[in-house]
Amino acid sequence: RPGPLSGYMAGKGIRFATLWRKDNNKAPHPTPKINLTVKQFEDTIADMRKKGMDPHGTSAYRGADGAVRYIAGFTERGKGQHWEERHDLTADDYQTQLDHWSSNDYKLSSVHVYETPDGTRFMATAVKEDGDSFMWQERHGITGEQYQKTFDKLGEDGYRPRSICEYLEDGKPHFAITWIKYNKK
């Protein structure tokens, strides 16, 4: 089944990249929806939530016309889970959302950074669930060197990257990363 999906410009056309995961989950997984306007994206999420599916693996990109387009991936809601998705957040809004999620026992699942005509925006999903299956760390606005140092340190502590997004900040590459560490059962 498809995992996170990303869209990007290549020449004059849009291309897509995804990870595929083979597992024992026999439940049907809806095909990710691509090339959505913001209204279509929000309507699709609302519709899928009514069907017990939550956004997971969402991302955004600028289309050939310069307009932002969204990708909506979904996962079946697990027992005791509540997912939240936020998009079109400035860096300050994103930090406020992270603080809110952290203080309300949500766990950041993914982060994606994208360009809009109004500047850089953040998109993220988080889950609140019964039990404590994983812990998380997040960093954004860090350089490649800072990423490597953080990767090394968190790796020593048992964390693994879950989502990595490179983006330009002041014309230079920066990263937004989510790390997770599964709790032993």
Each residue of 44-64: b (16+ CB within 10 Å) or e?
A: bbeebeeeebbbbbbbbbbee
pLDDT in tens, 86-128: 999 999 999 999 999 999 999 998 899 999 999 999 999 999 9
pLDDT confidence of residue 27? 61
pLDDT confidence of residue 124? 94
Q: Which residue has the higher pLDDT, 51 or 56?
A: 51
Using alpha carbons, select from 134, 124, 113, 122 the residue that is nearest to residue 182: 134
pLDDT confidence of residue 38? 94
Residue count (the chain): 185
Using alpha carbons, select from 183, 184, 125, 179 the residue that is nearest to residue 153: 179
User: Are the beta carbons of 41 and 114 closer than 8 angstroms?
Assistant: no
34, 136, 145, 160, 174 from 152: Cα distances, Å: 35, 15, 11, 10, 17
pLDDT confidence of residue 174? 96
Output the DSSP codes for 7-32.
EEEETTEEEEEEEE---S--S--PPP
**Token pair for residue 179?**
């790390």
pLDDT in tens, 122-162: 999 999 987 777 889 999 999 999 999 999 999 999 999 98
77, 102, 175 from 153: Cα distances, Å: 32, 21, 16
Q: Would the pTM of this model clear 0.85, i.e. be above it?
A: yes
pLDDT confidence of residue 50? 92
Residues 141 and 177: their CA atoms lie apart, in Å, by 9
Whether the per-residue pLDDT at 18 is higher than 60: the answer is yes
CA atoms lying within 13 Å on the CB side of residue 140: 25
What amino acid is encoded at 140 in this protein?
H
User: Are the beta carbons of 173 and 147 closer than 8 angstroms?
Assistant: no
Q: What angle do CA 174, 175, 181 make, to 5 degrees?
A: 160
